[in-house]
C-alpha cells in the first residue's frame, strides 16, 4: 500500500454571515493524498476547491474559519498548528504554486532574491551553494539564461516566465507535496501547454505528490492520476482520472463533460441548465437537484452520501449513479450551427493598420500617426451579413485591438473600415453619428465590470432604448421585458442589481443590452472567458439563437479555440497584428495549414487523457512584430530560408477557400506534419 501524505478528515470551513449564521464553503470533506500521485481537484468558481487546497497548507483566508475536521500532515493537524511551526512546513514540506504568478511575486524584490529566500529558509546551503542552486532551479524550469533572469524584477518577465519562476520557487524547498492553484489559467494556450508539460516532467522527475486545482478539465486531464470533482463545497465524485473523464458516473460531471466544446466537433454542445447554488442556500436534498437530468423525487429532500464503489475504486455522491453506469460513454450531441451568411458584404476592412505609438508633437499638429511598424498592419477582411467570424491568436496578436477599432474606440492609422460599402467608419468614436454607433454594439469579457453596479437591470437595458429610439413609459417597459425574455430571464429580474445576479445571468443582461440597440454587428470580446464551463455552453447557445432570429453579424474574439470552433463560420488567425490565415472554420480546423495555426491547434488541451497536446514551437514572447518579412518568423519551425526574414509572404488560396500567408507552397503546407 502506498503511503498517505496528507489526510483531510471531515473538513468544514465557513464564515459568519452578517446575520450571524454559519455559512459553509467546504462541507465535510474527507480525502487522502498519496505519495507520488497527482490529484486533480476540479470545480466551478465557488465550489470551494481553492479553499480546500489552501487548507492543505494550514492556511485559511481572512474572514473564513475552520468549523470542524482536520488536515493531517505527518500525523499532526495543520489547522491547529502554531504559525511558528507552520513556517517550517510551508515551502519545505508543502509548497504552493499560485494561480497568478504576476500577482504572487513581490514586485520590489528581484527574482533571484525571492528564490534565495526560500532556499535560506528551507535549506542549510551556504551563500555560493545557494547561488549555484538558484541557477539550477531556473534551468530546471527551462528559463533561458538563468543568471540574467535572477537579476530581473517580476514585471520584467512574461506571464509564462513568471509562472516558471513560481514553480522554481516552490521547488526550492524540495517539498513532498506541491499544491497548484490554477497554475495555467491566465496563460496563452501555447504557454499553458508548455507549463503543463514541465509540471508533468517535474512530477516524474522528483516524485513529488501534486494537488492540481483547476476549473479546466482539459488541463486536469493532462496531469492527474486521480480526479476529485467538487460541487458547492462537497466532493461529488472521486476516482481514477481516465474513468472520470471517459465514464463519469455523477450527473454533474457527465453534464459538464458534455457541455465542453471540443476541437473535433463543430457545433454547439448541450448546455446545463441553471447555475451552482450560492453558499448558504442549500437546505436538505442534493445540491445538484435543480440542474440534474437524472433526478428523482427522493433527491429533493434526502442528500446522498459519498458512496465507495470498490470495483471502480470510485466514490460518488448520487442515488442514481447506476443509471449513469449503464451509459457506457459520453455521447456528446452538438447542434450544428446554421450558416446564415448572405452574399451581401456588411463590413469591409481594407489595409487597416492600427498603432499604439504615442503621437509626437509634430504629428499631433499635422494630425497623423507616424509609426513604421504598427501593432496591427495590413488587415483585409470582408465580413458578410449574418456570418460569425472569429479572430483568434495569443495575447498580443491584435485581435482585441481590431475590435476596438471597429467599435471606434481606437483610430486607425491607415486603411478603411467601411459599413455596407458606403459608410466610412475609419473615424474616431467622436466623429461617428448616433446611427453609426447604434449599428455596432460590444459585449465585453467581464460582465462584472461592464455593467454599472449602481443601475438595476431595467435601467441598464433601458439606456440604449432611450438613447437610440427615444422610447418612454409603457413602450419602454414592454421592450425591456421582451429583451429579457429573449435572453431567457424573467420579468422579475428588472429590479435586480448586477451584484444579485450570477455570472451567467450578468452576461445575459449584457447580451440583452447589446441587442436593445437593434445592431447589425455585435462585437463579442472573449464573452465566455469569465464564465464557468457549465454556463458557457448556455451563453453560446443563446448567442447563436439570437443571431438566427435577428440575422445579426458577430465578430467573435476568443483565445479558446474550441469555443471558436463551436460557434464560428469563418476564422481569421492573427499573429503579432498580422493575418496568417483566413478561411471557413471547417477547413481551418481540419487542415491546419499555416505553421502558426498548427502551433495553436496543437496546444489546445482536450478533456481526454488520450489526446496529448503537440508542442511545435517554443513559447517565446515577442514584444514587437518583426520589421521585415513574415510576422511569425521568430517562432516558426518551418522556415524555408532567408525569404521568410526579408519578404512579407504572399497570400495563397487553397481549393477549399482558405487564404494562407506563407512562403511555403500550398501543396507542401497541406501535407500532414505529424
Partner 1 sequence: MLFLIIKRILLGLITLFIVSLITFVGTEILPGDACTTYLERQAFGEQLEACYRRLGLNVPAYERYISWAVNAIQGDFGYSLSGEMPIKEVLGPRIKNSLVLASAAIFIGIPIALILGIVTALWRDKLPDVAISTVTIFAMTIPEFISATLLILIIAIWLEWLPGIVIVPTDVSFLELLPNIILPVIAIAMIMTAHMARMVRSSVIQVMASEYVQMAILKGVPYWKMVFKHVLPNALLPAINVVALTIAWLLGGVVVTEVVFNYPGLGRLVIESISNRDLPTVQALAIILASIYVSINLLADLMTLMLNPRLKTLQIRK
Binding site for partner 1 (CB under 8 A): 54, 57, 59, 62, 83-84, 86-92, 95-96, 98, 100, 103-109, 117-118, 121-122, 153, 155-156, 166, 169, 173
The residue (of 75 and 83) whose beta carbon lies closer to partner 1 is 83
The helix (H) or strand (E) run that includes residue 224 is none
Partner residues linked to 179 by β-bridges: 96, 211
DSSP letters spanning 583-607: EEHHHHHHS--SHHHHHHHHH---S
Closest contact distance (angstroms) between CB of 520 and partner 1 is 41
Please give the Cα distance from 527 to 98 (Å, whole number).
25
The residue (of 59 and 575) whose beta carbon lies closer to partner 1 is 59
Please give the Cα distance from 641 to 661 (Å, whole number).
16
Partner residues linked to 209 by β-bridges: 177
The residue (of 118 and 410) whose beta carbon lies closer to partner 1 is 118
Question: Which triple of cell numbers denotes residue 247?
Answer: 465514464
Please give the Cα distance from 659 to 657 (Å, whole number).
6
Partner residues linked to 384 by β-bridges: 345
Closest contact distance (angstroms) between CB of 108 and partner 1 is 5
Closest contact distance (angstroms) between CB of 163 and partner 1 is 13
The helix (H) or strand (E) run that includes residue 85 is helix 83-89
The residue (of 103 and 452) whose beta carbon lies closer to partner 1 is 103
Tell me the CB-side half-sphere exposure of residue 610, using CA atoms within 13 A: 4
Partner residues linked to 66 by β-bridges: 13
The residue (of 122 and 317) whose beta carbon lies closer to partner 1 is 122
Q: Please list, in sequence order, all residues whose beta carbon lies within 8 angstroms of the beta carbon of residue 213, skipping any fewer than 6 positions away.
A: 40, 41, 42, 49, 50, 52, 53, 179, 180, 181, 182
Please give the Cα distance from 594 to 169 (Å, whole number).
37
Question: Which triple of cell numbers denotes residue 430?
Answer: 467622436
Question: Which triple of cell numbers denotes residue 563?
Answer: 469555443
Give the β-pairing of 65-73 and 4-16.
antiparallel
Please give the Cα distance from 134 to 141 (Å, whole number).
11
Q: Which residue has the cell 421582451?
A: 482
The residue (of 165 and 272) whose beta carbon lies closer to partner 1 is 165
The residue (of 157 and 381) whose beta carbon lies closer to partner 1 is 157
Closest contact distance (angstroms) between CB of 361 and partner 1 is 13
Of the candidates 671, 666, 669, 668, which has an alpha carbon nearest to the alpha carbon of residue 655?
666
The residue (of 99 and 232) whose beta carbon lies closer to partner 1 is 99
The residue (of 38 and 114) whose beta carbon lies closer to partner 1 is 114
Closest contact distance (angstroms) between CB of 368 and partner 1 is 21
Closest contact distance (angstroms) between CB of 56 and partner 1 is 11
Closest contact distance (angstroms) between CB of 27 and partner 1 is 24
The residue (of 121 and 476) whose beta carbon lies closer to partner 1 is 121
The residue (of 105 and 227) whose beta carbon lies closer to partner 1 is 105
Closest contact distance (angstroms) between CB of 409 and partner 1 is 24
Question: Which triple of cell numbers denotes residue 180?
Answer: 497548484
Contact (CB, 8 A) for 13 and 56: no
Closest contact distance (angstroms) between CB of 110 and partner 1 is 8
How far is the CA of 220 from the CAs of 557, 558, 578, in angstroms?
25, 21, 33
Can you state the angle between helices 159-171 and 111-122, rounded to 10 degrees? 20
Closest contact distance (angstroms) between CB of 174 and partner 1 is 13
Closest contact distance (angstroms) between CB of 173 and partner 1 is 7
Please give the Cα distance from 71 to 9 (Å, whole number).
6
Amino acid at each position: 500500500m502506498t503511503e498517505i501524505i496528507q489526510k483531510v478528515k471531515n473538513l468544514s470551513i465557513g464564515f459568519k454571515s452578517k446575520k450571524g449564521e454559519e455559512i459553509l464553503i467546504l462541507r465535510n470533506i474527507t480525502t487522502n493524498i498519496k505519495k507520488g500521485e497527482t490529484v486533480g481537484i476540479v470545480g466551478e468558481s465557488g465550489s470551494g476547491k481553492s479553499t480546500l487546497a489552501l487548507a492543505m497548507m494550514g492556511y485559511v483566508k481572512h474572514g473564513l474559519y475552520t468549523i470542524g475536521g482536520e488536515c493531517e500532515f505527518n500525523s499532526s493537524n495543520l489547522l491547529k498548528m502554531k504559525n511558528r511551526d507552520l513556517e517550517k512546513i510551508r515551502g519545505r514540506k508543502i509548497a504552493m504554486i499560485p494561480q497568478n504568478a504576476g500577482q504572487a511575486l513581490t514586485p520590489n524584490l528581484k527574482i533571484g532574491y525571492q528564490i534565495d529566500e526560500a532556499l535560506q529558509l528551507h535549506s542549510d546551503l551556504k551563500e555560493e551553494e545557494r547561488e549555484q542552486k538558484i541557477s539550477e532551479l531556473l534551468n530546471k524550469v527551462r528559463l533561458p539564461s538563468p543568471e540574467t533572469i535572477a537579476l530581473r524584477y517580476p514585471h520584467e518577465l512574461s506571464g509564462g516566465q513568471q509562472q516558471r519562476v513560481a514553480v522554481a520557487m516552490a521547488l526550492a524547498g524540495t517539498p513532498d507535496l506541491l499544491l497548484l492553484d490554477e497554475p495555467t489559467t491566465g496563460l496563452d494556450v501555447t504557454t499553458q501547454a508548455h507549463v503543463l508539460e514541465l509540471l508533468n516532467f517535474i512530477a516524474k522527475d522528483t516524485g513529488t505528490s501534486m494537488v492540481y486545482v483547476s476549473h479546466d478539465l482539459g488541463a486536469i486531464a493532462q496531469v492527474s492520476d486521480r480526479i476529485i470533482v467538487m460541487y458547492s463545497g462537497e466532493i461529488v465524485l472521486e476516482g481514477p482520472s481516465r474513468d472520470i473523464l471517459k465514464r463519469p458516473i455523477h450527473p454533474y460531471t457527465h453534464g459538464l463533460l458534455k457541455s465542453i466544446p471540443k476541437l473535433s466537433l463543430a457545433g454547439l454542445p448541450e448546455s446545463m441548465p441553471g447555475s451552482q447554488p450560492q453558499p448558504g442556500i442549500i437546505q436538505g436534498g442534493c445540491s445538484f437537484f435543480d440542474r440534474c437530468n437524472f433526478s428523482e423525487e427522493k433527491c429533493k429532500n434526502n442528500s446522498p452520501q459519498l458512496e465507495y464503489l470498490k470495483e471502480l475504486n470510485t466514490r460518488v455522491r448520487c442515488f442514481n449513479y447506476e443509471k449513469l453506469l449503464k451509459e457506457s460513454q459520453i455521447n456528446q450531441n452538438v447542434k450544428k450551427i446554421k450558416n446564415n451568411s448572405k452574399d451581401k458584404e456588411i463590413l469591409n476592412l481594407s489595409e487597416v493598420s492600427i498603432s499604439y505609438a504615442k503621437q509626437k508633437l509634430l504629428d499631433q499638429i499635422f494630425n497623423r500617426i507616424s509609426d513604421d511598424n504598427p501593432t496591427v498592419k495590413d488587415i483585409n477582411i470582408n465580413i458578410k451579413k449574418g456570418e460569425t467570424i472569429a479572430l483568434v491568436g495569443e495575447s498580443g496578436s491584435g485581435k482585441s485591438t481590431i475590435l476596438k477599432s471597429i467599435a471606434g474606440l481606437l483610430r486607425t492609422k491607415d486603411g478603411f473600415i467601411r459599413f455596407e460599402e458606403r459608410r466610412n467608419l475609419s473615424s474616431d468614436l467622436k466623429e461617428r453619428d448616433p446611427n453609426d454607433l447604434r449599428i455596432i454594439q460590444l459585449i465585453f469579457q467581464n460582465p462584472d465590470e461592464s455593467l454599472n453596479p449602481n443601475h438595476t437591470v431595467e435601467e441598464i437595458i433601458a439606456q440604449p432604448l432611450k438613447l437610440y429610439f427615444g422610447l418612454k413609459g409603457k413602450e419602454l417597459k414592454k421592450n425591456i421585458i421582451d429583451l429579457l425574455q429573449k435572453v431567457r430571464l424573467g420579468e422579475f429580474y428588472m429590479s435586480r442589481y448586477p451584484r444579485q445576479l450570477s455570472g451567467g445571468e450578468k452576461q445575459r443582461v449584457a447580451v440583452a443590452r447589446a441587442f436593445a440597440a437593434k445592431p447589425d454587428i455585435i462585437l463579442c470580446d472573449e464573452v465566455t472567458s469569465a464564465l464557468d464551463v457549465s454556463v458557457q455552453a448556455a451563453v453560446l447557445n443563446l448567442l447563436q439563437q439570437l443571431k438566427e432570429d435577428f440575422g445579426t453579424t458577430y465578430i467573435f474574439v476568443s483565445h479558446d479555440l474550441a469555443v471558436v470552433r463551436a460557434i464560428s463560420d469563418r476564422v481569421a488567425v492573427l499573429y503579432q497584428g498580422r493575418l496568417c490565415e483566413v478561411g471557413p472554420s471547417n477547413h481551418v480546423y481540419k487542415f491546419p495549414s499555416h505553421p502558426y495555426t498548427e502551433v495553436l491547434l496543437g496546444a489546445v488541451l482536450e478533456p481526454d487523457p488520450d489526446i496529448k497536446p503537440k508542442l511545435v514551437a517554443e513559447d517565446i514572447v515577442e514584444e514587437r512584430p518583426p520589421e521585415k518579412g513574415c510576422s511569425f518568423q521568430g517562432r516558426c519551425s518551418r522556415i524555408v530560408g532567408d525569404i521568410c526574414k526579408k519578404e512579407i509572404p504572399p497570400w495563397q488560396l487553397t481549393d477549399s477557400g482558405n487564404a494562407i500567408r506563407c512562403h511555403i507552397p500550398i501543396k507542401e503546407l497541406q501535407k500532414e506534419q505529424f
